Every structure is written in C-alpha cells, then in structure tokens.
Structure 1
Amino acid sequence: MTVTTDRQRQVEDELVKTVLASFEGTPDPRLKQLMQALVRHLHAFMREVRLTEAEWQHAIDFLTAAGHITTGNRQEFILLSDVFGASMQTINMNHEATAGATEATVVGPFFVDGSPEIPLGGDMAFGAPGEPCWIEGTVTDTDGAPVPGVRLEVWEADKEGLYDVQYGDGHTAGRAHLYTDDQGSYTFWGLTPTPYPIPHDGPVGRLLEATGRSPLRASHLHFMATAPGLRTLVTHIFVEGDQLLDCDAVFGVKESLVKRFERQTAGTPTPDGRDLSGQSWSRVRFDIMLRPQPSPDRST
C-alpha cells in the first residue's frame, strides 16, 4: 500500500513529531540523541515498507520467542545482532583501523567467564574431539615492544561443530586462558578449527531459513587479549582456504585475520616433543599487536 493523500502523510508526520517531542526532556543528551534517532529511523522504515499490523505482530512474536529461548548459555539476541551484521558494524565503528594493530571481530555467543588456566605449551582442548593444532605467537604494542603478562582467553568449537556449553553436561573443553611470557610470547595446543553452524533451532535459525541464508560460520579460533594500559582485543583467526570465508553467517571475517594452518602428517615431530600417537596435526602463528587504551573522551 502506498500513501496517496496529503492528509495521510500529515497524520503520519504528526505522529513522528509527537513521539520525538516526548523525548525532548531526556536529561542525558546522549540518550536523547539515541532515542530520537531510533524513532526517526524506525518510523521511516515502517512507512517505507508500509508495514502491516500482521507483520508488526509477527515481529513482536519473533522477539518474544528470542527472549524465551535465551538462557545463560544461549543468547539469541547476540545471534540476531550477528546475522544482521550489527555486531560487526558496532565493532568496525568502535575499533578504527590502526596501522599494524590486530583487527577486532565479534565475540560470539559462546564466551564464558572462569575458563581454566593452562601453562605455556598447555592443551586447551581438554579432551575435546578434533585434530591437534599448535598455536604460537607474540603480543606487542603498537611501538613493537613485547608485552609480558598478557591474559589470553582462547575458545573454539570441537570437530563436531559444538562448544562445550552446547552439550549441557557442564564439562569444560575447548576453552582456557594463559599468559604471555617475559618476551611477550605464547604457545598452546588447541584444535584445528572446522566450520560449524550457529545455533539455528530457534527464531534466528528460522529467519535464516526463510531468507535462504546458511547458518554456517567459517572455521575459526577465538582470542581475547587483555593487558593493563592497552585496549582489550576480541578477535578470531580464520583458516586460509576455507570455502566459507566469503559467506560467514555473522560477517566476522577480515582478511588480516586469515592465517595459514600448516598441516603436518602423522609422525612429524611436534615443537614440544608431544607424542600424538600417529595423529596428523597442524600449526599456525598468530602475532598480536594491541593498541593503547583510548583517551576518556574517545571510544576508539
């Protein structure tokens, strides 16, 4: 349906003005800006597509379902933000590119506080199924100086495409934290990343199916790097050659984060002498450069 009369346009315009005016007294200037911009854009969308009452009710039902399926280990609204590219766009705007600094990407819905600590060279898989992978690198600041004592949180899915929290039995696997040494270096064992679908048994999955989109994520390993005086970095590394790099369900891939995972045949000696009992394995290097903390009046 299209608007055909000046009177109809006037009625709709007046409502927008009235709603905008209702936020004029908002004490916080930033909150006022956000709410009024939201009103303008939301009403513009509704008027552009001539949203029907049935469609609006369907949207409300969708959001209600997203709330009902959300738990402590399953955040449907993060998935919704991710598949609309809103999570990545927020990251892009708040983590402006700095020459050499490691780029950020989405945290995803499966980060969990309280991961176990492992030593340098330790195994974060904790028995999760998959091909072993040796990960090594150095953390520096933007001046190139090594940063000791950086806390690295690492987490990933197993070869079945599942994170530990998706099993529902309370076990911990495929996640840990460790600290860089005095030279800013780190090493640990993980799993060679494999593709997996984001949870698609809920409303976000039904949305993807209705729009002909895949729920698959490109193979990746999550990192979170934290150090005093430096900006916390949340990022992934992706597997070079993965066919999903150009169609990641949450738009999280950045070219600088695509790394070569070098496959090693069974029997190839490991860097730390680990006996893999005839298993193949892989290795990858990921050097991280952290930016300084932003000044208090800037978010980037």
Structure 2
Amino acid sequence: MKDVSIDTITQAFLDYCGPDTDPRTLFVLRKMVEHMHAFAKETELTHAEWMRGLKFLTDAGQISDDERNEFVLISDVTGMSSLVDMLGSRHEGTSSSVLGPFHSVGAPHLPVGGDLKKDNEGATVLVEGVVKGTDGQQIEGAVIELWQTAENGLYYSQDTGQGDFNLCCSMTTGTDGRYAMTTVKPAPYKVPDDGPVGELFRATGREPWRPSHLHFIVQAEGYRALVTEVFANGDPYLDQDAVFGVREDLIMDYIECTDLDALPDDLQIGRNATVPYYKVNFDFVLAPEAAQTPT
C-alpha cells in the first residue's frame, strides 16, 4: 500500500489479514491494534519513548526463565491479570483472583484434616470450610489445591531451604463438602523487583508488597473451576496489593485460640502445633459450568 499515512495505517494493517482468519482472533487483534495506534497518536509517542518501551519488553524476556515469567508479572502489576479475572467471574459464587507465578502442578494429596505445617516455623493455623454450589448444596469430590509462602515470605520454589512442594497440597472433599488442614500463617512478601517490573515500581513510586494470602484452585465436575486467593483481615497491605488481587469477599479472619482440645476430632495436628493457634473458616461457592458471563 503506497498511500499509508497516520490516518490510514490502522486500516492498512487490518486489510493485510487474510479472509480465513478466525473471527475471534481477528476481533481481538483488530481491537488491540486500534487501541495501540490510538494510544500512539493521542500521546504523540516519540521515537525515544517507543524504543524505551521495546527495551522494557526485551529486558523482561531476558530475565524470564522456567521459574520466573516477567511478562506474567507485568500483567499482574498493571492490573491486567486481575481485570481478566474479574471479567471472567461475573457470576454468583466466590470471586476469582490471580493465579500468580508459583503454582506447581502435582502437589501431594493430603487427607481432610491432614497436617501441612509439619516442621515449618510459625504459628499453627487451622484452615477449614465447605465447598458448595450456588444452590447451597455441599459438593462431594471437589478437588482443592492450596499453596502458600512459608513464614519467611518465600514459596518453596524460591527457597532452597524448603523441600519440594513444601506448604502445597491437594485435597478431595467428602460427602459433606468439607476441607480442613493445619498449616502455618503465611507472610506478606514483595514481588520480584530486581528486573523491569522493579524499574516500573521505582519510576511510579509504588511499593512491591503483597498482603498475606493463601492460594486455592477448586474444581468439581459440573462447576466452573475457581482460581483464587484468600487474604488475612487486618493485613497492612490489603489496600495496596501490588497485583490488585484483593476482593471484599476474599478477606478472612484469623481467630486466635488456645484450647487444643477444641480442635476437630479428625484433625491430624502435627507435633509442632503452637499455642496460641489460629482458626480460619472460609467456604467456597462454585458457579455451575453453564453459568453465563453478562455481556
């Protein structure tokens, strides 16, 4: 096309797309390019600014590896991950939240009432609740995955001092839909800020902290899979989460307790149980698989 100009270049790109392009792919691509071109024109983007943006992305690729994906982190800290989560969970049921970069497939199975704390330092926490549908019925056979930081604010994949799958498990609910485990209270932590995302934080005066949380994936036949996090009420970073993951219905209370005899009979509490310990009760509500997202 010989007459490409500021006014025609967007349509010129779209005209290059072939007639067999998947309609949804074409729609998403068209909107993305339209917004990018509009952004460049609205901001009068300079060549130097454009090159700085390309360097930012190049640096993200160079620092990424099997254990760390800086592009995912960029999506998280700009709110894109949370926005997509919220767009996908506009239905009844527990809110979704960001998956994060530290989920590991294949965590060992833990029976209901099992001890996940083991030899980890920190206060003992009993986490329990029920998985149910939006109709209030308990869901048997729901599979729960949990992963979290240790007391030092690190996941096992970040910390050579922790064993594989430390503070990670999967669990299957029984006929009552209940899940329960003892674990350790997770700590707030900083997202990695030694790469391009750190430059973004420093350039904008932001802090890289995340509030204390537990990660969950909850799945059951006939229901939408739920990827979410639950947060500690009173955490100092609830209102400044670096990745915008906090939702009002995902905040839970840690209730301090001292009577070990009051714990459920099926609880396999470990030898390192602390007094005081904490109780957390959080129910998950799954939306039916056929639930439609409003348009």
* Matches of 2:201 and 2:216, distance apart in 1: 27
Q: Secondary structure at the match of 1:11?
A: coil
> For structure 1, which segment, 214-223 or 272-281, has the greater mean C-alpha deviation from structure 2 after superposition?
272-281
1:1-300 aligned at under 5 Å gives the runs 11-23=5-17, 25-98=19-92, 101-168=93-160, 171-265=164-258, 268-269=260-261, 271=263, 272=267, 274=269, 275-276=271-272, 278-294=274-290
Structure 2 segments unaligned to the other structure (5+ residues): none
Tell me how far 1:168 sits from its aligned partner. 4.6
Q: Cα–Cα, structure 1 residues 247 and 171, in superposed 2: closer, same or farther, change >3 Å?
A: same
Tell me how far 1:171 sits from its aligned partner. 2.6
Q: Cα–Cα, structure 1 residues 168 and 23, in superposed 2: closer, same or farther, change >3 Å?
A: farther
Given that 2:140 and 2:174 are in contact with CA atoms closer than 8 Å, whether structure 1 keeps it comes out as yes
The one-letter amino acid paired with 1:102 is T
Given that 1:155 and 1:175 are in contact with CA atoms closer than 8 Å, whether structure 2 keeps it comes out as yes
After superposition, the C-alpha distances for 1:56-76 in whole angstroms (9 at most, x for unaligned) are 111111111111222222121
Tell me how far 1:278 sits from its aligned partner. 5.0
Q: Cα–Cα, structure 1 residues 123 and 73, in superposed 2: closer, same or farther, change >3 Å?
A: farther
* Matches of 2:16 and 2:30, distance apart in 1: 9
* Matches of 1:131 and 1:72, distance apart in 2: 32
TM-score by length of 1: 0.89
RCO higher in structure (CA 8 A, sep ≥6): 2
Given that 1:23 and 1:36 are in contact with CA atoms closer than 8 Å, whether structure 2 keeps it comes out as no
Q: Secondary structure at the match of 2:280?
A: strand
Q: Secondary structure at the match of 1:186?
A: strand
Given that 2:115 and 2:268 are in contact with CA atoms closer than 8 Å, whether structure 1 keeps it comes out as no
Q: Secondary structure at the match of 2:199?
A: helix
* Matches of 1:276 and 1:167, distance apart in 2: 21
> For structure 1, which segment, 12-21 or 214-223, has the greater mean C-alpha deviation from structure 2 after superposition?
12-21
Given that 2:119 and 2:272 are in contact with CA atoms closer than 8 Å, whether structure 1 keeps it comes out as no
TM-score by length of 2: 0.90
4+ residue runs of structure 1 moved beyond 6 angstroms? none
Q: Secondary structure at the match of 1:48?
A: helix
Structure 1 segments unaligned to the other structure (5+ residues): 1-9
* Matches of 2:248 and 2:121, distance apart in 1: 28
* Matches of 2:126 and 2:91, distance apart in 1: 28
Q: Cα–Cα, structure 1 residues 209 and 127, in superposed 2: closer, same or farther, change >3 Å?
A: farther
After superposition, the C-alpha distances for 1:229-253 in whole angstroms (9 at most, x for unaligned) are 1110011111111121111111110
The one-letter amino acid paired with 1:213 is R
**Percent identity at matched positions?**
37
* Matches of 2:268 and 2:169, distance apart in 1: 21
Given that 2:129 and 2:180 are in contact with CA atoms closer than 8 Å, whether structure 1 keeps it comes out as yes
Q: Secondary structure at the match of 2:115?
A: coil
